Structure 1
Amino acid sequence: MPRLGQRMRFGIVCGFAGLWLAWGVSTSLGADGGHASRWIAGDAAIYLELSHASPLLDQLLSDKYQNALTALPGYVQTTRSKTYKQAIAELEHVSKQLGTTWQQGLRDLTGGGIVLAVEGEPGKSARPILIVTPTDPAFLTRTNQTILDRAREKANSQGKADPIQSTDYRGITGYEPGHGAYAIVEGKLVIVDRLKTLQQVIDRVLDGAEAGASLADDATWKARREQAGDRQAWGLVRLDRLRELDPKRFAFKGDPKLPATFLFGSWLEVIRKADWASAALSWTDAGLAAELTLPTPPSGYPDALKGFVPPQGRGATQPVNPPGTIASLSLWRDLASVWEARADLFPPEVVQGLAKLDGVAGQFFGARDFGTDVLGALGDEWRLVIARQDHSSLKPVPDMKLPAFALVVDLKPGDNDFPQRLKVAFQSIVGLINLGGVQSKSPPLELGSETVADVTISTARYMLPKTPADAKEPVHSRHNFSPAIAQVENRFILSSSVSLARDLIQTFKTPAKPEDRTLMVEANGRELADLVEINKSRLVMQNMLEKGHNKTQAEHEISVLTQLLRYLGLARLSVQDSAEVVRLKLNLDLAN
């Protein structure tokens, strides 16, 4: 399937309307007979719509969103460029002629909605179709004529030929502005890749699509559209159709890699086998919500993937959120089953590499078999936590303040020897770190222990020097780390810092119930922004060295990054595996 870049761009550069339309994509939800989906072929591979353009435009044009954009690489430079300023000047000039502003003009042009679809046949160029329904068709006509007059006036003043060719087809005027073609058809703006596609759309509108020939009659499209409900944006991708059009690009095959397979094993299978994928989006002052849905494989998952999909009604527990949490992840994974099926999941070279883990298990876990006796002793609930530390309590206080992180895994009951083996393994690893530290002249880690809420924490702290360090010398970042382990009932904690281990012990005093989701992730932009603020002086210095900025420029860049992180607020991601579909949800509680 050929790339659509050049042919899609013409809709943005063809003039004032194109620049307005570049802000968003939506669709009219008026009477079914005039719905833009009836102008799209039933076998279209991609369909996108935005049913409520104004709320989305309000968010895009809001001060808080525009301010957040300044943190994106190159955004400020783009807005200061000559090309950008000329485009804005052109927008304002045409807006004035129309007696409006470009912001209000955009709302009027897209008030009825926009549909974007991609059609195609194997071996032929793709056919993108953009259909825009204005609030007032008369305003669309005036806008088009104003753009035409402006373009021809400029060309004439420069002694150039008419830049926009016009062609009449069945009583409708089509325009070719260099790349692609467009026309106003029954009060809607239709923008396509070439004149032939435009004529096909006009034929469908004037002749009426045969029963079952339009996308609006497609059973999959109707079912998914009804399921989406009243969303600002919604889309459907026919993955089976994409595979027909370009098998090489859309077969989604390749050598399975260990990290990708471990994290996404069953979901990769879903993408390879799914016939369709639908997405929906809503954006309000409260935040942004997005959802992606794919069907499960028709014949079910192969046995090799049973370690990735929890039984119905089971799943991961809610992510833990000790004080200062930056990010928290909770994942359901039966690693013993994954290990058992490794020959079916990974290529031979990866399987050979995994075999070395049996040797590691022998060294650290008393000759236990890695699959049966190590992974088999672990539960299916895995949690990862990243949190800010109270750096003032660290001795010495490191110059670069890093967050703490912890891995929490459930232990299966009945194996009382395994927790002790984990403790011995922790001590052995600390010993190996100390041996390596001798060569780099690093201070050794001292083993110790403390008790919090009747739970014993095994600790390791870097030995303090006998004499105070030179105050002018930077304190090494290693002092962010004080490795610790602890066990709270059946939960084993491995933490990079004692303080986070303490907080997790208190958190686990209140048990959480399993949810019906396989993966849950939370990320707090405000907490991360606070960490950036704490390290601002070091980050400014690093920015000056790496990018050659002066201090003012570096401070501005770090401040903008902090502002963006605070704007993003709290993010929540979840994946639910049901018998019929896999549903991914993303929610952003944006800062007001």
Structure 2
Amino acid sequence: MTVQALSPFRCSNRSLAVFALSVFLASPTLAEDAKQGDRRTAAELLPASVVAYVEVPRLGDVIELVADHPLRQSIQDMPAVRAIGSSDQVRPLRDGIAAFEGGMGRPWDEALTVLTDGGIHLAFDAPTQGAALLIQSSSREQLERFRGVVLALSQLGQGNFGIARQADYRGFTAYALNDNIKLALVDHWFLMTNKPELGKSIIDRYLDGDKHSLAASDSFTAAMAGAGDASMKAYVDVETIRDAGVAPKLYAGKTENVAAEALFGGIVANLAHTPSAVATLDIDPSGVRLTLATPHQSEWETGREYFFGEDSAASAPPLLQVPHQLLAISTHRDLSQMWLRAPDLMTDKANEDLAQADTNLTTFFSNRDFGEDILGSLRPGIQLVVQRQSFDAASPQPAIKLPAFAMQFTMRTPEETTREFRRVFQNLVGFINVVGAMQGQPQLDQDFEQTDSATLLTATYVPPREEDPLAAVPINYNFSPTLAFAGERMIVSSSTQLARTLIGLSAPSESKVKQPNTVAVLNADALADTLRDNKQQLVAQNMLEKGHGPDQANAEIDVLFDILALFKDVTVELDVDDGQLKLTTEVQLQSK
């Protein structure tokens, strides 16, 4: 008997009926739940040669959290969500859920909770190049129903309805979804794999046990010991992948430019030596936290001590805090040491570009060595802040309003460094004016401010004359480049207003609490306000690129603001702690 193939984009009532019949025939016996005697973990069933492993211990908890989340109703009430929910585009999804519920005999969320109450486990094995999916459930009946659902979907998709090909291995029946993928029920385990030899080895371990399982791997055990009670856990055998020559550039220990070295040099050094990596995903009502961790040893840092500091214990300076703050980044980096050691840390092409830049910068700084004399005059540690920019009513209002940004450094010898950078700033402004004049750009007017505690060198674009034929105020007027000095602090800012704000902040005091090596915080409210300042331009761009009318373009842009309104902030931290290099990303949601 054959039936029409079930397209993923079209599903009729007749197809649903055929699907239900397929499930019934594919699940000839729905036995009462058997007594669950096997307490072994998925890692005990998998071979030690597994190089990647993912586990979701309690999918039901995640489903319940999402279903009961305070923001759920707000999301459902969004016009865009209501429109999508009633559109024909999601009809295949609705039909698929209905078919799944019919096959499982329960609502989809309840079915998934019971089906996966022992965890979902996905693994990739290196020798066989095979992947295996293991689902453990306390309900044999739900596993049998799920087997029927999977077989029915496979047969309907291929338009070949009938009894699936079967084979027996050591008392367990394996079903063929196609020439490659096989599935079997092993008591209270659902097993699916694309390599029969991998599936057989899992059944062998289930029946016989094996001292060479993944659970017996020292690397796996040590790596997963710190995973804790996470919503999702993942393990990667980095050493095996590295030795196999996969993505060799990633483990070569070299970067391709100065920016990549400053941002990721320490991570690159770690990847060249670490045996494994673990990822954990924690989900709770307040947000989501993703942590990537690898073992770390100080001897792996050779050449990159500038990144981690002495004994891998360097802390970033405190984050700068200003009104309407969009982004703040603080990191420990000894820029002088990074620049001087760059030839050993970067690729040959990157070093060619670096050598050319070093020559030009040395000339620009009156033949003083850029790495040793100029960058060496600054202490390790960089602070960056980005702020939503406001414009005085009497000032030119640029058509596109960009945020202001500034970087703060600490000087070793303030008097000498102040003179050097002041001269360079004045020369740079003069150079910009010369080039700008040749290109018809507005000119910068320099000024000088002195207060009791600070010195500011400012540059402001000359306002356009009333007779200038400008369709809109150029983007240049977002900038009023400023160099400020306050005690040991040096501030390089795109805006005089932001520089004045930072000057007014008190100098940071020594903190007794260890700070991360690098930390960054993005504020969703300030990001939304900055985009809202430019909504007219966003709408115009939408109309030009997609051909939408004003109402449709406005509606699409409003979806972006609705999404941003759900979030509070995003925090990223990089640090070395207890012999591990950890990169943590935390997304905080609004409370309501």
Fold shared by both chains (TM-score > 0.5): yes
Does residue 129 of the first structure (1) align with residue 132 of the second (2)?
A: yes
Q: Name the residue aligned to 1:48.
A: 54
Q: Name the residue aligned to 1:22.
A: none
Q: Secondary structure at the match of 2:472?
A: coil
Q: Name the residue aligned to 1:379.
A: 379
Q: Name the residue aligned to 1:3.
A: none
Q: Deviations over 1:74-109 (max 9, x none)?
A: xx9999676x63353133034135442222222221
Aligned length: 554
Aligned residue identity for 1:487: F
Q: Name the residue aligned to 2:122.
A: 116
Cα 1:55–1:98 change in 2 (3 A) is: closer
Q: Name the residue aligned to 1:477.
A: 475
Distance 1:155 1:365 in 2: 69
Distance 1:146 1:359 in 2: 68
Q: Name the residue aligned to 1:189.
A: 190
Cα 1:100–1:250 change in 2 (3 A) is: farther
1:277-356 aligned at under 5 Å gives the runs 277-297=277-297, 299-302=299-302, 304-312=303-311, 313-356=313-356
Q: Name the residue aligned to 1:503.
A: 501
Give the unaligned 5+ runs of structure 1.
Answer: 1-14, 19-29
Conserved? CA contact 2:315–2:514, under 8 Å: yes
TM-score by length of 2: 0.84
Q: Secondary structure at the match of 1:45?
A: strand
- The more displaced of 215-224 and 109-118 is 215-224
Q: Deviations over 1:31-53 (max 9, x none)?
A: 99421211111231111112222
Cα 1:155–1:286 change in 2 (3 A) is: closer
Cα 1:49–1:545 change in 2 (3 A) is: same
Q: CA shift at 1:140, angstroms?
A: 2.0
Cα 1:502–1:79 change in 2 (3 A) is: farther
Distance 1:341 1:254 in 2: 13
Cα 1:353–1:221 change in 2 (3 A) is: closer
Q: CA shift at 1:571, angstroms?
A: 0.9
Distance 2:500 2:561 in 1: 29
Conserved? CA contact 1:120–1:245, under 8 Å: no
Q: Secondary structure at the match of 2:530?
A: helix
1:6-17 aligned at under 5 Å gives the runs none
Conserved? CA contact 1:318–1:515, under 8 Å: no
Q: Secondary structure at the match of 2:560?
A: helix
Conserved? CA contact 2:138–2:188, under 8 Å: no
Cα 1:32–1:327 change in 2 (3 A) is: farther
Q: CA shift at 1:68, angstroms?
A: 7.5
Q: Name the residue aligned to 1:417.
A: 416
Conserved? CA contact 1:163–1:177, under 8 Å: no
Distance 1:51 1:197 in 2: 22
Does residue 539 of the first structure (1) align with residue 515 of the second (2)?
A: no
Q: Name the residue aligned to 1:275.
A: 275
Distance 2:310 2:394 in 1: 44
Conserved? CA contact 2:573–2:584, under 8 Å: yes
Cα 1:146–1:391 change in 2 (3 A) is: same
Distance 1:377 1:530 in 2: 38
Cα 1:200–1:48 change in 2 (3 A) is: same
Q: Deviations over 1:412-466 (max 9, x none)?
A: 13x5222121111111111111112212322211111335673232211111234
Conserved? CA contact 1:336–1:372, under 8 Å: yes
CA RMSD of aligned residues (A): 3.5
Distance 1:443 1:150 in 2: 66
1:130-529 aligned at under 5 Å gives the runs 130-145=133-148, 148=151, 160-162=160-162, 164-178=164-178, 179-209=180-210, 212-247=211-246, 252-253=251-252, 256-258=255-257, 259-297=259-297, 299-302=299-302, 304-312=303-311, 313-393=313-393, 395-413=395-413, 416-451=415-450, 454-467=453-466, 473-511=471-509, 513=511, 515-529=514-528
Cα 1:247–1:443 change in 2 (3 A) is: closer
Distance 2:37 2:171 in 1: 24
Distance 1:195 1:163 in 2: 20
Conserved? CA contact 1:94–1:147, under 8 Å: no
Q: Deviations over 1:502-532 (max 9, x none)?
A: 2212234454638442211111122111111
Distance 1:91 1:272 in 2: 45
- The more displaced of 575-584 and 433-442 is 575-584
Q: Name the residue aligned to 1:6.
A: none
Cα 1:506–1:356 change in 2 (3 A) is: same
Q: Deviations over 1:395-424 (max 9, x none)?
A: 1111211100111111113x5222121111
Aligned residue identity for 1:130: L
Distance 2:76 2:182 in 1: 32
Q: Secondary structure at the match of 2:289?
A: strand
Cα 1:128–1:494 change in 2 (3 A) is: same
Give the unaligned 5+ runs of structure 2.
Answer: 1-18, 24-35
Conserved? CA contact 2:269–2:300, under 8 Å: no
Conserved? CA contact 2:254–2:268, under 8 Å: no
Distance 2:298 2:337 in 1: 22
Aligned residue identity for 1:388: R
Distance 2:364 2:163 in 1: 75
Conserved? CA contact 1:452–1:502, under 8 Å: no
Q: Deviations over 1:285-344 (max 9, x none)?
A: 111112111122584322x22222211343211221211111111121112212222321
